[in-house]
Amino acid sequence: MAHTHTSSLVHPLRCLGAALLAGLMSLSGGAHAANEAADEAANDIEAAPEFKPQLWLDSGFWSHHTKPNASKPYREHNAGLGVEWHFRPTWQVNAGHYRNSLDEPSNYLQLGWMPLSWSPANHLKFEFGGSVGVVNGYPGIADKGYFPSLVPVATAEWRRVGINLVYIPSIGRIHGAYAAQLKFRMF
């Protein structure tokens, strides 16, 4: 059965609706029908699977920039290594090191929130959200020091492998990019 994080909102709303319906029906003398409506809503609710924290090992990035760099071509294979620690069903911390598109070393530390999830098949999951944090290593931005970042993220996971897709907006003279990152679940 497909599990979604959005269902965590739908189920309480269905329960509230069933409770309101049951209350209205009992006021109008339909206690038996009210009990049936409440039982039906309760049967529709599945227990959410128990969440277990996860550790993922991430590759560097493969990127494609929205515009070419006038002075020197962008490096579009951004070798590196990172980790993701999923500590709640929709929350994670990401950290890593990579060679950025300007051929400089970069580090990142991000807090990710993935509130939308869709599981069309067993072991296959798509998540959508965003990430906020800091990145460094870009000439012309904070003298290669850390600066804030906010990026949209989409993820596809199947069993112990996955891919993160990120859009990085243009900042100063650095053009935006679409980036892909492979990941492997350690536990």
Question: In this predicted structure, what is the pLDDT of residue 36?
Answer: 59
Q: Which residues of the chain have pLDDT under 50?
A: 1-27, 34, 38, 41-42, 44
pLDDT of residue 12: 43
Identify the CA nearest to 156 among candidates 125, 177, 182, 130. Answer: 125
Interior/surface letters 147-166, b for 16+ CB within 10 angstroms, e for the rest:
eebebebbbebeeeebbbeb
Q: Say whether both 30 and 91 belong to one domain.
A: no
Spatial CB neighbours of 143, under 8 Å, sequence gap ≥ 6: none
Q: Both 68 and 93 in a single domain? A: yes
**Enclosing domain of residue 21:** 7-44
Domain identity same for 38 and 123: no
Q: Under 8 Å CB-to-CB from 123, ≥6 apart: which residues?
A: 158, 159
Q: Are 24 and 85 in the same domain?
A: no
CA 181 to chain CA centroid, Å, is 13
Dihedral (C-alpha) 126, 163, 114, 144: value to the nearest 10 degrees? -160
* Residues 172/174/175/176 CA torsion (nearest 10 deg): -90
Q: What pLDDT is stored for residue 173 in this prediction?
A: 78
CATH number of the CATH domain containing 171: 2.40.160.20
Residue 67 to residue 69: CA distance in whole angstroms: 7
Q: Is there a domain that residue 1 lies in? A: no
- The answer to whether residue 2 is domain-embedded is no
How many folded domains does the chain comprise?
A: 2
Residues making up the chain, counted from first to last: 187
DSSP of 13-39, one letter per residue? Answer: HHHHHHHHHHHHHHHTT-HHHHHHHHH
pLDDT recorded at residue 77: 96
- Residue the block writes with tokens 């600066």: 147
At 109-150, the pLDDT tens digits run 999 999 999 999 999 999 999 999 999 999 889 999 999 999
| pLDDT confidence of residue 69 | 86
Answer yes or no: pTM beyond 0.95: no
State the pLDDT at residue 21: 47
Residues 27 and 88 in one domain: no
